[in-house]
Amino acid sequence: MCGRIAQFGPFSEIVALINIWSDPVTVEESVPRYNLPPTAKARLLNLEGDDLVAQRVHWGWRPHWAKDKPAPINARAEKVAHGPFFRAIWPHRALCPIDGWFEWVNEGGPKKQPYFIRRRDGAPSFCASIGQFPGATQEPSEHGGFVIITADSQGGMVDIHDRRPVVFSPALAQEWLDPATPKERAEAMILQQGELSEIFEWFKVDPAVGNVRNDYPSLVEPI
C-alpha cells in the first residue's frame, strides 16, 4: 500500500452502516478528499465509552521513544499484535473509512502508472486501524495519530501491489470497534477475515494524482 487514499463519500452514510451505538459525536467537520496523503488528517471512527466518535486524526504514528524514526502510516497484520513498536496502541482500535486507495505500477514507461482501487459495489471500505486518539472534548496531542493495518495482497491485486489494507465488512467492523472484543479475537480478524480481493476493482487514473496538491473528483475516475 503506497500511502494515498480517497475519502469523499457522505460521512453520515458511512457512520450509519456500522452505527449500533448512540448518535456519533462529531468532533471536526470534514471535506471530501480525493487525494489524501500521509501526515494529513483523515476521517477516523473510534469508540469513546459508549459513543462513536467521528473525527479527523493525523495519519501516521510512532511511540514517544522512537523520535529518531519516521512515523509509519501502516502496520503489518502479521506483526502488529506482538511487536514492541505498536504495543501501546494495539488495544486502541479504530476504523478508517475510505472510498478507495491508490497504487503506482511500473509498466515500462518513464513514470509509474497510478491505479485506483475500490470496492466493486461502491460501498466504503472500513480499514482496520489502531492509534492514539484525542477525546471528543480534548485538544489534539502531539503524540496522537493512527496507522492502517495491511496484509498480503491476493489474486490479481498482487500485480498492483503486494500489500493492501485489511478491510472489514460492516458486521466485522462493528466487532473490531467493540471494546468487548478480546485482543486475541482482534488479531485473528486481521489475519483471517479481511475482505477478499474479489470484491475490489482497480483501474488506471490520471497521473496528476502524483501531485498531492491536486485534489478533485476526476482523479478517481478511469482513464
What DSSP string describes 135-150? -TTSPPPTT-EEEEEE
| 146, 129 contact by CB (below 8 A) | yes
- pLDDT for residue 110 is more than 80: yes
- pLDDT for residue 2 is more than 80: no
Averaged pLDDT, 171-176: 93
For residue 21, what is its C-alpha cell? Answer: 451505538
Percent of the chain with pLDDT over 70: 87
Distances, alpha carbon 2 to alpha carbons 74, 102, 162, 170, in Å: 10, 7, 10, 25
8-state DSSP, 40: S
Of the listed ranges 21-30, 42-51, 67-76, 79-88, the least confidently predicted one is 21-30
Residue 29 annotated among the catalytic residues of the structure: no
Averaged pLDDT, 139-167: 79
The residues, ordered by sequence, that sit 6+ positions from 40 with a Cβ below 8 Å of its Cβ are 33, 58, 59
The CATH code that applies to domain 5-98+112-193 is 3.90.1680.10
Catalytic one of 28, 48, 96, 103: 103
Three-class DSSP category at 8:
coil
Q: pLDDT tens digit string along 54-102? A: 889 999 999 999 988 889 999 999 999 999 999 999 999 999 999 999 9
Residue 103 annotated among the catalytic residues of the structure: yes
- pLDDT for residue 180 is more than 80: yes
